[in-house]
Amino acid sequence: MAVVDLVSEVTGTDVLELDPLYNAIDPDVLDTLCTSGSGFTSLEFQYASHTVVVAQVESGLKISLEPVTIGAAGSSGVADSGPSA
């Protein structure tokens, strides 16, 4: 739920108005990756017009958002770094 809460806070959108997280990634898989000893270091996925980066850090997990922009040629990219949790 941390991803949805962060996107809600950054975008000013009520969590109930956001698309379900499972449309972007299986939340159970995300939880499993982040809590197991699988060697997980980082994961990126698109959600609510942002690239979500979940990374394993010494103190736990870091979740950051990067707005996605669409260029004139129709390609997408990252605008700049946004807030993180």
Which tens digit of pLDDT belongs to each residue from 43-62? 899 999 999 998 888 877 88
Residue 83 in any domain: the answer is no
Is position 23 within any domain? yes
Could you give the count of Cα atoms lying within 13 Å of 57 in the half-sphere of its Cβ? 10
CA distance 77 to 67: 8
Q: Is residue 16 part of a domain?
A: yes
DSSP conformation class of 84: B
45 in a structural domain: yes
- Domain count across the chain: 1
**Is residue 9 one of the residues assigned to a domain?**
yes
| pLDDT tens-digit map of 60-84 | 788 999 988 765 555 455 445 455 5
Identify which of 4, 23, 1, 19 has the alpha carbon closest to the alpha carbon of residue 65.
Answer: 4
Which pTM was predicted? 0.72
In this prediction, residue 47 carries a pLDDT of: 94
Asked if the structure places residue 85 within a domain, the reply is no
Q: Which domain holds residue 74?
A: 2-78
User: How high is the pLDDT of residue 24?
Assistant: 94
Residue 41 located in a structural domain:
yes
